[in-house]
Amino acid sequence: MAQQITIDPVTRLEGHGKITIQLNDAGEVQDAQFHVTQLRGFEKFCEGRPFHEMPSLMARICGICPVSHLIASAKACDALLAVRVPPAAVALRELLNLAQLAQSHALSFFYLSAPDLLLGMDADPAKRNIFGVYQTNPQMARDGIRLRQAGQQIIEILGGKRIHPGWVVPGGVSEPLTELKREQILAMLPEVVQITRNTLDWYKETFQRFEEEIRTFANFPTLFMSIVGENGRMNVYDGKLRFIDAEGKIVADNIDGNDYADYIAEAVQPSSYLKSPYYKPLGFPAGIYRVGPLARLNIVESLGTPLADAEMPAFRQLDRQSSFHFHYARLIEVLYAWERIEQLLNDPKILDEHVRARAAVNADEGVGVAEAPRGTLIHHYQIDKDGLITRANLIIATGHNNLAMNRGVLQVAQHFVKGARLDDGMLNRVEAVVRAYDPCLSCSTHAVGQMPLHVQLLAPDGSVVDELVR
């Protein structure tokens, strides 16, 4: 009898999602899907608003990575003004985005994924959380809290508040950096670099234990996409889009953000509010690609900071297709973020007082692209002659990963689901594979909510035969 298993909602994600596993008559997994069941409609309600409000408005899409939306949005607005953002403002925006990257990765790694990594996938769900981590390895829990806090503090020092800083504006930033703030941030760095290195050492010892998961965790060939800076170097603030294939060969390079629509198309599926972008030249669904830390590290030729670059040879030895390595990539990126912040702060130009370019509306369309913790963000706005938004299109990191996440869930389900029963170990892994992408469903559907867990097992006719609510 064909049955369907639904995991709804999935815990320890940002937002709300649901997983359905379809069984065939032989009781084998035939299909699996990750649904996003809310809709927030940011694209719709910003219509008619003056575009100068967009950065702050769009930052409200997410409370975890508002900064990245702020930045992608401000870049789209820079394009509407057709101005060149002063170099100090570019550096400050990059710095802010790096702080965001570090704090968000720390949240993902320590709070959301460390419970699985430290306590094991089969540990009691009641303990498999940050508190369980605290009981087993208090130092690790403290480290996680410290890293996240440091990222947040830097955002606060720069932007005036932690969650929705309003400092990034069309044309630049609203205030220059002071010497005092520069010193404050610099003073934080040695400690967090050390913590990050310790964590990397621990992780390198640990992850080998997850050999089976690495093999089966959304491990399949796809394209990867991210922006890269000059000379193929990592840059989370600005650069050109690049796609590589599963072997690491460049398939499309040097793509200007304005031309994204020539390369990326979005499919809409009835089962989910999350749109499924795909690489246009390959069509749907063959144009599946992944974004985020794993994609970035697979794509860039170097990171450009010494400690992080030193981690790369070992990372490159790994199976680059396994989404399990998102975790590893995240840690390397945190290290990169601290080092890059230091580089930026040590450049005297960062204190320059010219941080904002002003202009009236000079273009009726603008695209802003930046790397958010979870991957590439694309904000695309059109305005009328008065500067009011007529259309906004947002392609969000979790959206890019949608197809890959679905395929990942299918792969894990096929491997771990045995028979038409729901068992915790299987559920945990299905969940964990989704979590490896660190999907931010609130961002991607522009949705709010908590992520409890609900699993359904459906017969071929769609009736529920088993159900599990956590």
Partner 1 sequence: MSRVVTLKIDDRDVSGRDDETVLEVARENGIDMPTLCQVDGLSSVGACRLCLVEVKGVPKLLPACTTYVTEGMEVWTSTERINRYRRQIVELLFSEGNHICAVCVSNGHCELQNLAIRLGIQHIDYPYRYPKATVDASHERFGFDGNRCVLCTRCVRVCDEIEGAHTWDVKGRGINSQVITDLDQPWGESPTCTSCGKCVNICPTGALFEKGKSVAEMTKRGEFLPYLTTMRGKKQR
| Other CB atoms within 10 Å distance of the CB of residue 468 | 18
Q: Which of 164, 181, 391, 454 binds partner 1 (CB under 8 A)?
A: 164
Among residues 387, 391, 448, 449, the one that binds partner 1 under rule CB under 8 A: 387
* Least Cβ distance, residue 93 to partner 1 (angstroms): 14
Q: Does 391 bind partner 1 (CB under 8 A)?
A: no
Instruction: Check residue 172 for interaction with partner 1 (CB under 8 A).
Output: no
Task: Name every residue whose Cβ is closer than 8 Å to that of residue 350 and which is 6 or more positions away in sequence.
Answer: 88, 91, 92, 95, 177, 182, 344
**Opening angle at CA 210, ends 299 and 131, nearest 5:** 100
Q: Which of 358, 390, 450, 469 binds partner 1 (CB under 8 A)?
A: 358
- Indicate the Cα dihedral angle 213, 216, 221, 222, nearest 10°: -70
d(CA 462, CA 453): 20
Which residues pair with residue 278 across a beta bridge?
265
- Smallest gap, in angstroms, from Cβ of residue 158 to partner 1? 15
Q: How many chain residues are in contact with partner 1, going by CB under 8 A? A: 19
**CA 117 to chain centroid:** 19
Q: At its nearest, how many Å lie between partner 1 and the CB of residue 84?
A: 17
* x/- letters, 56..85, toward partner 1 (CB under 8 A): xx--x-------------------------
- Footprint on residues 24-53 left by partner 1 (CB under 8 A): 48-50, 52-53
| Cβ neighbour number for residue 221 with a 10 Å cutoff | 10
Nearest approach, Cβ of 205 to partner 1 (angstroms)? 45
Query: Closest CB to partner 1 among 164 and 470?
Result: 164
CA pair distance 374, 371, nearest whole angstrom: 8
Calpha distance 383→389 (Å, rounded): 4
Interacting stretch for partner 1, rule CB under 8 A, among 6-14, 194-202, 324-332, 381-389?
381-389
Cβ proximity to partner 1: between 164 and 233 the closer is 164
Using CB under 8 A, pick the residue from 15, 17, 55, 239 that binds partner 1. Answer: 55
Q: Residue 434: name the closest of 21, 3, 2, 4 by CA.
A: 21
Residue with tokens 């409200």: 60
Residues 242-271 that bind partner 1 (CB under 8 A): none
**Shortest Cβ 469–partner 1 spacing (Å):** 32
Contacts 24+ apart (CB under 8 A), 249-256: 251/223, 251/279, 252/279, 252/281
Whole-number Å distance between alpha carbons of 71 and 372: 9
Which one of residues 41, 138, 166, 283 is an interface residue with partner 1 (CB under 8 A)?
Answer: 166
Pair of tokens at residue 195: 């913590």
Q: Verify binding: residue 355, partner 1, rule CB under 8 A.
A: no
User: Of the two residues 56 and 196, which places its CB atom closer to partner 1 in the complex?
Assistant: 56
Please report the sign of the dihedral spanned by the C-alpha atoms of residue 372, residue 375, residue 376, residue 377.
Answer: negative
CB 55, min distance to partner 1, A: 7
Question: Alpha-carbon distance 163 to 213, whole Å?
Answer: 34
**Tokens matching residue 284:** 């749907």
Q: Kindly tell me which of 52 and 421 has the beta carbon lying closer to partner 1.
A: 52
Question: Residue 356 corresponds to which amino acid?
Answer: R
Query: Smallest distance from the beta carbon of 58 to partner 1, in angstroms?
Result: 10
Comparison of 72 and 169: residue with beta carbon closer to partner 1: 169
Residues that bind partner 1 (CB under 8 A): 48-50, 52-53, 55-57, 60, 164, 166, 169-170, 174, 358, 360, 386-388
